[in-house]
A and B are shown apart, each in its own frame.
Chain A
Amino acid sequence: MDTTHHLHDVDYGTPASVSEKLVTLEIDGFEVTVPEGTSLMRAAVEAGTQIPKLCATDSLEPFGSCRLCLVEIEGRRGFPASCTTPAEAGMKVRTQSPKLADLRRGVMELYISDHPLDCLTCSANGDCELQDMAGTVGLRDVRYGYEGLNHIKEQADTSNPYFTYDPSKCIVCNRCVRACEETQGTFALTISGRGFESRVSAGESQAFMDSECVSCGACVNACPTATLMEKTIIEAGQPDHSVLTTCAYCGVGCGFKADMKGSEVVRMTPWKDGKANEGHACIKGRFAWGYTTHKDRILKPMIRSKITDPWQEVSWETAIGHAASEFRRIQNKFGVDSIGGITSSRCTNEETYLVQKLVRAGFGNNNVDTCARVCHSPTGYGLGQTYGTSAGTQTFKSIEKADVILIIGANPTDAHPVFGSRMKKRLREGARLIIVDPRKIELVSSPHIKADYHLQLRPGTNVAIVNALAHVIVTEGLLDQQFVDERCDKEAFDYWRDFVASANNSPEALESMTGVPAHLVREAARLYANAGNGAIYYGLGVTEHSQGSTAVIGIANLAMATGNIGREGVGVNPLRGQNNVQGSCDMGSFPHEYPGYRHVSDDATRTLFEKDWGVSLRKEPGLRIPNMFEAAMDGSFKGLYCQGEDIVQSDPNTQHVIAAMEAMECIVVQDLFLNETAKYAHVFLPGSSFLEKDGTFTNAERRISRVRKVMAPKAGLADWEATVALSNALGYPMHYKDPSEIMAEIARLTPTFSSVTYEKLDQLGSVQWPCNDAMPEGTPLMHIDHFVRGKGRFLITQYVPTDEKVTPKFPLLLTTGRILSQYNVGAQTRRTENVKFHEEDRLDIHPQDAAERGIQEDDWVGITSRAGETVLRARVTERMQPGVVYTTFHFPESGANVITTDNSDWATNCPEYKVTAVQVVKVKHASEWQENFHEFNETQLRLLKDKVVTAEAAAGTR
């Protein structure tokens, strides 16, 4: 497959039929065989011909309204619409005849008589199906004239920052309405009015921005005319070529076509054949890519000796040389273990692999970690212990077979929007739904979806709820004993069974802690256990707790106990936060393990890497991120190479993190922007965006997809090249000419990747690991006949309440999360029009708690915990339960992490972001921390503005 891609994909008109039964028919004299249920329209495409159409497109169910797709069928009267008529065995179909041509011209004539004839200057010129159809049917003349009533003068709605709605061009084909319903599941659009009056309308005749629309772009994609059109295309014109790539935002890992004009991106179109997204996207990937060319991007390397000095712009060579000599100086003075690195869960597998290699082989220690530490490290531990592999068990597609969906601590419609849409589709088809979440997330009740059970637990009691569910399954005889006997370790199961069966773990006994009525827990447990196919999806609401790993283990136990593992429609599915969290974990970013999850103390593995890398390697684990901070505070950790992460904003207990930063002597930050961490850095290496580099990302379903360079790195070097340069300067030579060579090394050294090559990815589009000799095309479903570790291992999961408890001083529990339009620390999305959807972080508080404190909507409120204080504006909402408040952390000045504490998961040190005891009061001023932040920020921006440009930097030498 060429990396460039056809601008226009074939449109089959209607979705593929999944039937296994085939039928053979004749179309225009040619025989064609298709699955039963295939439309005549689609069958015609298979037979090599196209029937004219307007209201049909293959991402949507047929609608049959435009009457352009009429055909003749031998032995039948009339002219049925081919989009709504299923193919039958033995049919003889004609798609062209003089009569059909006449009818079609008549239809087109009506459409065109109410359509502006400004084709030459229309933004859709070259990409308009109406135009194409007028050509196809041979329309030469319009009899009705434009004097009568028409819509040609109607005003466009430009309220959405990314697309316009120009009703004058609308042909009322209903594709947008159906896209919003079927593809996205938001139901924001309707056709209002009847007959001639009918028009598309968002919400109740509102502007798009005021409606329920979440700006996913599905309607824009589906629209056959210029009515719904991306603003970038209106401005720049139609693209000249496309390159297939992968979204760099969330763990869904949507495939995209980067539509290009020369080396400029003019649109990101969701890729129809992308297996993670099947042609859908969300506001982030689809529209929020403007940050890649934002003026705040730093494109020259910079150095300074103290963080109070102005930056000095230098050449790459100088910056890398400076970093290397500082690192060596520190190691000479404070020991080999005094420096470390942080790999990025946003960078490619190849880049991540190189950073961990640099640390292990170049630095000579194992002090490497990744931001997955602070999100999904408990998943790695929990699933590793129980099943033997640190990854989700299914494909996204598996949801289409789920009968009962159990969501714990995840909010897919905001954090994993495209998967959220796929989930909603299945729920509308009738799958049942159980939600375990302290908040009333969107899926609890949204158009055409209502959760059967919402177990609205108190934050921090996941393990108690999971144990209570298990108690019901065991004591009410709902176990899948056959599965357990065949697939699981007997002794471990017996221990577990006796443990969960004890009265302490009954829903009744735990009710006072979880706050969830026992009968609801019982009913939910029965529903899941009797599901047929029960599928669990969970997110950071499970992992980011002091018992995060215990909860993951508990979830794995539930799935084994009910036999919900090893086939489609079931499984345990962690929803990953950032795009390459899975990949960064796979690539050996953790201080205790090599790529492929093999412990550094394992002699055979270590020898393998020592031989390949030509160095001797350490067998003790290195420091994890929070341990690095602790070690910095005690003076034994002094230097850090941080690629593509913003630990100062994203890690908990900001003031502690900052103290650790200030205690270090050399911090090297590689990023697109001067992020919060970079404000404490001594060397800044300009990063490259996902549009500027080659590599791979691995999404939450273990799917490895290509990221392709569509433009040259703006700063001269791609991120992997900068790491190579640093390694060379440190005296550990690396000689890669291309990221494909890095992948070859990964494959050579990692059994689960051994058959992965770029050629294969180009050929298949993507593969799910394990991809090796046994499974050369990858492994969609895991643990089919046996667990990766052999027998599944049940583990006892004692509920231990967190130390973050409410007290008279801190009577509320704060939990944190994210929102659809913003991404993580917001460095990217805040630099796009997405801020129009979310311009500040707010504190969500229940009306009752607000009233008790005299707090009203929009009031400034101070939030205090034992770690610190910050001030936000309040949003009073019933989504919260009394006693629980919530905020997002997308803006640095919000200081959400000033309040979170350094409590962490017992097994992995993943911070407990989801539970902090706080008090909330009405205030008039920003907090002291915010005032200091403001001042510090101003200073740092000034030091950037006043940067000294050295001659070599000005000359642009490398």
Chain B
Amino acid sequence: MNAENLIKMANDIGSFFEAMPNREQATRDVATHIQKFWEPRMQKSLISYLGTHGDGNLKPIVRDALREIHPASFAARN
């Protein structure tokens, strides 16, 4: 699926939770939100795009959240 759109959507989620004072909790909330509302192929598309193109302008909080949900894909990259 269109990676640009997915990144934008993910960053918008990040923007909401970023404002929370507890960063750890906020990252978990981003992760939960994506897990609860994103159909698996959306998550997969985004992860695989990041795998080939790098994190680009993905917000750090979103990257951390994705790492929480899909540790394996991230481990493979690092």
Interface size on B, residues (CB 8 A): 23
> Contacts A495-B21, A798-B15, A908-B37 given; 13 further ones with Cβ under 8 A?
A337-B39, A495-B20, A620-B39, A621-B36, A621-B38, A621-B39, A623-B42, A633-B1, A796-B21, A798-B19, A800-B12, A902-B5, A906-B13
Whether the pair B39, A906 counts as a contact (CB closer than 8 A) is no
Whether the pair A630, B1 counts as a contact (CB closer than 8 A) is yes
Assess whether B28 is interfacial by the CB under 8 Å rule: no
Whether A601 contacts B36 in the complex (CB less than 8 A), given A550-B16, A798-B16, A907-B13, comes out as yes
Whether the pair B15, A906 counts as a contact (CB closer than 8 A) is yes
Question: A904 — which chain B residues lie within 8 A by C-beta?
Answer: 9
Question: B1 — which chain A residues lie within 8 A by C-beta?
Answer: 627, 630-631, 633-634, 636
Whether the pair B15, A337 counts as a contact (CB closer than 8 A) is no
Contact residues, A582-639 vs B (CB, 8 A) = 591-592, 599, 601, 620-624, 627, 630-631, 633-634, 636
Whether A592 contacts B16 in the complex (CB less than 8 A), given A495-B21, A636-B41, A902-B5, comes out as no
Query: Which residue on chain B has the smallest CB distance to residue A366?
Result: B39
Contact residues, B20-66 vs A (CB, 8 A) = 20-21, 33, 35-42, 45
Question: A395 — which chain B residues lie within 8 A by C-beta?
Answer: none
30 contacts between A and B (CB under 8 A): A366-B39, A495-B21, A591-B39, A592-B37, A599-B36, A601-B35, A601-B36, A620-B39, A620-B40, A621-B38, A621-B39, A623-B39, A624-B37, A624-B39, A627-B42, A631-B41, A634-B1, A634-B2, A634-B45, A796-B19, A796-B20, A796-B21, A797-B19, A798-B18, A798-B19, A902-B5, A904-B9, A906-B9, A906-B12, A909-B9
Residues of B within 8 A of A (CB): 1-2, 5, 8-9, 12-13, 15-16, 18-21, 33, 35-42, 45
Question: B2 — which chain A residues lie within 8 A by C-beta?
Answer: 630, 633-634
Query: Which residue on chain A has the smallest CB distance to residue B5?
Result: A630
Question: B21 — which chain A residues lie within 8 A by C-beta?
Answer: 495, 796
Query: Which residue on chain A has the smallest CB distance to residue B11?
Result: A906
Q: How far is the CA of A803 from the CA of B40 in the complex (A)?
A: 26
Whether the pair A627, B36 counts as a contact (CB closer than 8 A) is no
Query: Which residue on chain B has the smallest CB distance to residue A367?
Result: B39
Interface size on A, residues (CB 8 A): 34
Whether the pair B19, A499 counts as a contact (CB closer than 8 A) is yes
Interface residues of A, dominant DSSP: loop
Assess whether A546 is interfacial by the CB under 8 Å rule: yes
Query: Which residue on chain B has the smallest CB distance to residue A365?
Result: B39
Q: Which of A599, A627, A800 has the most CB of B within 10 A?
A: A627
Question: A624 — which chain B residues lie within 8 A by C-beta?
Answer: 37, 39
4 nearest A-B pairs in the assembled complex, by CB-CB distance: A798-B19, A906-B12, A630-B1, A623-B39
Q: How far is the CA of A366 from the CA of B12 in the complex (A)?
A: 24
Q: Which of B2, B15, B16, B45 has the most CB of A within 10 A?
A: B16
Q: How far is the CA of A549 from the CA of B19 in the complex (A)?
A: 15
Whether A546 contacts B39 in the complex (CB less than 8 A), given A495-B21, A631-B1, A796-B20, comes out as no
Q: How far is the CA of A908 from the CA of B42 in the complex (A)?
A: 14
- Per-position 1/0 for A80-94, Cβ under 8 A of B: 000000000000000
A800 is contacted by which of B15, B33, B41 (Cβ under 8 Å)? Answer: B15
Contact residues, A898-948 vs B (CB, 8 A) = 902, 904, 906-909
Q: How far is the CA of A591 from the CA of B37 in the complex (A)?
A: 8
* Least Cβ–Cβ distance between B42 and chain A, in angstroms: 6
* Least Cβ–Cβ distance between B32 and chain A, in angstroms: 10
Q: How far is the CA of A685 from the CA of B16 in the complex (A)?
A: 42
Q: How far is the CA of A367 from the CA of B70 in the complex (A)?
A: 22
* Least Cβ–Cβ distance between B52 and chain A, in angstroms: 15
* Least Cβ–Cβ distance between A597 and chain B, in angstroms: 12
Q: How far is the CA of A803 from the CA of B1 in the complex (A)?
A: 21
B41 is contacted by which of A337, A366, A549, A599 (Cβ under 8 Å)? Answer: A337
Q: How far is the CA of A622 from the CA of B38 in the complex (A)?
A: 7
Question: A631 — which chain B residues lie within 8 A by C-beta?
Answer: 1, 41
Q: How far is the CA of A569 from the CA of B20 in the complex (A)?
A: 32
* Least Cβ–Cβ distance between B17 and chain A, in angstroms: 9
Question: A797 — which chain B residues lie within 8 A by C-beta?
Answer: 19
Whether the pair A907, B5 counts as a contact (CB closer than 8 A) is no
Query: Which residue on chain B has the smallest CB distance to residue A796?
Result: B19
Q: How far is the CA of A549 from the CA of B33 in the complex (A)?
A: 13
Contact residues, A382-398 vs B (CB, 8 A) = none
* Least Cβ–Cβ distance between A640 and chain B, in angstroms: 15
Query: Which residue on chain A has the smallest CB distance to residue B14?
Result: A906
Contact residues, A626-677 vs B (CB, 8 A) = 627, 630-631, 633-634, 636
Question: B5 — which chain A residues lie within 8 A by C-beta?
Answer: 630, 902
Question: B18 — which chain A residues lie within 8 A by C-beta?
Answer: 798
* Least Cβ–Cβ distance between B11 and chain A, in angstroms: 9
B36 is contacted by which of A499, A592, A800, A909 (Cβ under 8 Å)? Answer: A592
Query: Which residue on chain B has the smallest CB distance to residue A492?
Result: B20
Question: B13 — which chain A residues lie within 8 A by C-beta?
Answer: 906-907
Q: How far is the CA of A337 from the CA of B33 in the complex (A)?
A: 21
Query: Which residue on chain A has the smallest CB distance to residue B20?
Result: A796
Question: A633 — which chain B residues lie within 8 A by C-beta?
Answer: 1-2
Question: A906 — which chain B residues lie within 8 A by C-beta?
Answer: 9, 12-13, 15-16
Question: B8 — which chain A residues lie within 8 A by C-beta?
Answer: 803
* Least Cβ–Cβ distance between B8 and chain A, in angstroms: 8
- Per-position 1/0 for A540-553, Cβ under 8 A of B: 00000010011000
Whether A622 contacts B39 in the complex (CB less than 8 A), given A630-B1, A906-B13, comes out as yes
Question: B41 — which chain A residues lie within 8 A by C-beta?
Answer: 337, 631, 636
A627 is contacted by which of B12, B16, B39 (Cβ under 8 Å)? Answer: B39
Question: A902 — which chain B residues lie within 8 A by C-beta?
Answer: 5
* Least Cβ–Cβ distance between B27 and chain A, in angstroms: 15
- Per-position 1/0 for A469-481, Cβ under 8 A of B: 0000000000000
* Least Cβ–Cβ distance between A494 and chain B, in angstroms: 10
Question: A367 — which chain B residues lie within 8 A by C-beta?
Answer: 39
* Least Cβ–Cβ distance between A902 and chain B, in angstroms: 7
Query: Which residue on chain B has the smallest CB distance to residue A795?
Result: B20
Question: A550 — which chain B residues lie within 8 A by C-beta?
Answer: 16
- Per-position 1/0 for A834-878, Cβ under 8 A of B: 000000000000000000000000000000000000000000000
Q: How far is the CA of A622 from the CA of B39 in the complex (A)?
A: 5
Contact residues, A782-804 vs B (CB, 8 A) = 796-798, 800, 803
Q: How far is the CA of A798 from the CA of B41 in the complex (A)?
A: 30
Question: B45 — which chain A residues lie within 8 A by C-beta?
Answer: 634
* Least Cβ–Cβ distance between A491 and chain B, in angstroms: 10
Question: B12 — which chain A residues lie within 8 A by C-beta?
Answer: 546, 800, 906
Question: A549 — which chain B residues lie within 8 A by C-beta?
Answer: 16
Query: Which residue on chain A has the smallest CB distance to residue B8?
Result: A803
Question: A499 — which chain B residues lie within 8 A by C-beta?
Answer: 19
Q: How far is the CA of A549 from the CA of B13 in the complex (A)?
A: 11
Question: A634 — which chain B residues lie within 8 A by C-beta?
Answer: 1-2, 45
Q: How far is the CA of A68 from the CA of B9 in the complex (A)?
A: 69
Whether A907 contacts B37 in the complex (CB less than 8 A), given A796-B19, A798-B16, comes out as yes
Q: How far is the CA of A815 from the CA of B65 in the complex (A)?
A: 34
Question: B42 — which chain A residues lie within 8 A by C-beta?
Answer: 623, 627, 630
* Least Cβ–Cβ distance between A195 and chain B, in angstroms: 68
Q: How far is the CA of A796 from the CA of B12 in the complex (A)?
A: 15
Question: A909 — which chain B residues lie within 8 A by C-beta?
Answer: 9
* Least Cβ–Cβ distance between A636 and chain B, in angstroms: 6
Contact residues, A342-390 vs B (CB, 8 A) = 366-367
* Least Cβ–Cβ distance between B46 and chain A, in angstroms: 12
Q: How far is the CA of A754 from the CA of B13 in the complex (A)?
A: 35
Q: How far is the CA of A803 from the CA of B36 in the complex (A)?
A: 25
Question: B16 — which chain A residues lie within 8 A by C-beta?
Answer: 549-550, 798, 800, 906-907
Q: How far is the CA of A337 from the CA of B40 in the complex (A)?
A: 10
* Least Cβ–Cβ distance between B74 and chain A, in angstroms: 20
Q: How far is the CA of A904 from the CA of B10 in the complex (A)?
A: 12
Q: How far is the CA of A599 from the CA of B33 in the complex (A)?
A: 12
Q: How far is the CA of A906 from the CA of B16 in the complex (A)?
A: 8
Query: Which residue on chain A has the smallest CB distance to residue B13?
Result: A906
Query: Which residue on chain B has the smallest CB distance to residue A593?
Result: B36
Query: Which residue on chain A has the smallest CB distance to residue B39?
Result: A623
